Amino acid sequence: MTDVARLFSEDPARDERFDVKQRWLDLANYPDGDPRKDFEFFHRQMNEEINGLENSARCLADFPDADWELRMQLARQCSDEARHVIMFREVFERRGGQVGQFPVINFQYRIITKIDSLAGRMAVQNRSFEADGLDAIRFGIDEARAKGDEELATLFDAQLADEINHVRFANEWIHILAKRSPMTVIKIARALNDAQTAFLHAMEGGKADIRYDVSDEVRLEAGFDAGEVTAARETAAATRASRP
């Protein structure tokens, strides 16, 4: 069995309000139709946005010699993610929630901060995790409007605009860095392989709820080419088909 411990860093700091888990199956995974399901999502998403802030901040700290323009994009991402944390916390508390009410998981932070190259981190965080998030947010906007929840639709719409930019700048800078050094491509491939192994371990025994299709329009706006969008759509369809 593959030793996956080497693929994870330690958890980021959390205060005593948070019950931190390491596996998806240990979270509060409520079934469809349970009134707590959407409510728990706000709390989990709040913590994921904290992870996004922490990951971007660690990139700034760990790679101080990166191009100034790239560091400015990472700094803007920190600001965006901090704003998202506040947005999700406010809607969660406004609807009666309390921070720490549900368990959280920091798998994104633990996977990404273990990667030893900036290009590798952007490939996993921005081009993978956040790119998948674009599709989910686009779906969430339509679903919220269908339910008449304009507050949530507006929140998702603002989040989507920021996340498109996060994916786009990563796409642009990965191409720049790869042109400078062919070794960058090897580092990215290793990072993606390790991240996939770690992700499957964190998700083992759980069942991610993939109800949405790949959004061609949003991914193209985020800097993916047509071939990459087609590949993402085929992968998503295969993943859904393989689930019981």
Flag whether 1 is in a domain. Answer: no
Residue 168 corresponds to which tokens in the numbers above? 């786009």
Residues of the chain with pLDDT under 70: 1-2, 205-211, 237-244
Q: Within a domain: residue 2?
A: no
> Would you say residue 48 lies in a domain?
yes
131 found inside a domain: yes
Domain hosting 162: range is 7-242
Under 8 Å CB-to-CB from 95, ≥6 apart: which residues?
A: 39, 42
Assigned token pair, 139: 């779906």
CA distance 135 to 160: 9
pLDDT at 206: 58
CATH number assigned to the domain comprising residue 237: 1.20.1260.10
Overall pTM > 0.75: yes
pLDDT (0 to 100) of residue 172: 97
Phi, psi angles (nearest 5°) of residue 9? -90, 180
Domain count, the chain: 1
* Secondary structure (3-state) at 15: coil
